[in-house]
Amino acid sequence: MDLGFTGGFEFMGRSYPQLPFSIIWSNDNNRAACKTYTHNLGHDIACGDVWDFIDELPDEADVLIGGFPCQDISINGKRAGINGPRTGLYRAMVEGVKRTRPKVFVAENVKGLLIGDNREALAQVLSDFGSLGYAVGYKLYRVADYGVPQMRERVIIVGTSSEVNPFTPPEPERNSSEWITAEEAIGDLETVQENRDLNHIWSRANPSPEQGNRRLTADRPGHTIRAECHGNIQFHYSLPRRISMREAARIQSFPDSFVFQSGLRETERQVGNAVPPVFAWHVACSVLRCFQRSPSKHVAQTDQALNNSFDGIQS
């Protein structure tokens, strides 16, 4: 999500312009992910349990973004609910909002948050954020509608303070006939030999009910890339192997310049856990609109970035 908010990258021949967001503090609990983050984003990250670093948060921030863990409410997870050991970490994000008082915050989570008993969890999450004085809303997005070659669906929760404009969700830029297909996204890698330096490596796990046997369809976007695959990442649409980590990163809309600093298993986890950068860029453009013509010293810079962003959206 940080890559999407800062912008300044290319994916499938299209430029996603740099945006006027500067990351001033970040955190992850996975050391392999922290190594990848520093290598690609170019600055330090607080690596470890967020509660151990909570007193190091900056005093203020214009925007706070994050994805609190979703495994406890994911359809593919253990369904422990909002009080599970991982999903309960949304309270750390609530604490972060309370301490830094951002004008806008953005939280990402899985579609499962809208299903069955989890709707009570969603109501609690919205209530906790709302109690801090924010106007809070949510929307389910299909990332294929925003130029990501994947049928991933995710919930985005956004809160805005009274100091900025209300948040307007980004409009889809593609319909089903315009989705980027798996073959368009990764077809050029079919003849490329395995290369660890490019993350073009893949699992040798055999197809089975335990390991999974789902296969890409060439003329459709990819299936959702999962983080907890345990060897069951989807098979290539034409080759007798599972997709490589570089192919999975393409399906998640990572530019090829983004190189994961880990082996197969940890890279698989990082790619699957990520918010697709291209989709995050579209969300970031909508967040910028919240600041347009608001009383802020960054208005001129923001308006110029918005003009550049609109040019990118229309290209």
**Among 168, 186, 170, 173, residue whose Cα is nearest residue 147:** 173
Q: What is the mean pLDDT of residues 93-113?
A: 94
Catalytic residues: 70
CB 160 within 8 A of CB 292: no
**Residue 8: its H or E element:** none
DSSP character for 173?
Answer: -
Confidence of residue 299 (pLDDT cuts 50, 70, 90): very low
Mean pLDDT to the nearest integer, 195-222: 90
Percent residues over pLDDT 70 in the chain: 85
In whole angstroms, give the CA distance from residue 46 to residue 274: 18
Residue 306 confidence class, pLDDT cut points 50, 70, 90? very low
Give the global pTM: 0.89
Among the listed residues 125, 118, 28, 20, the one whose alpha carbon sits nearest the alpha carbon of residue 63: 20
Task: Residue 1: name the closest of 257, 205, 270 by CA.
Answer: 270
Asked if 4 contacts 287 with a C-beta cutoff of 8 angstroms, the reply is no
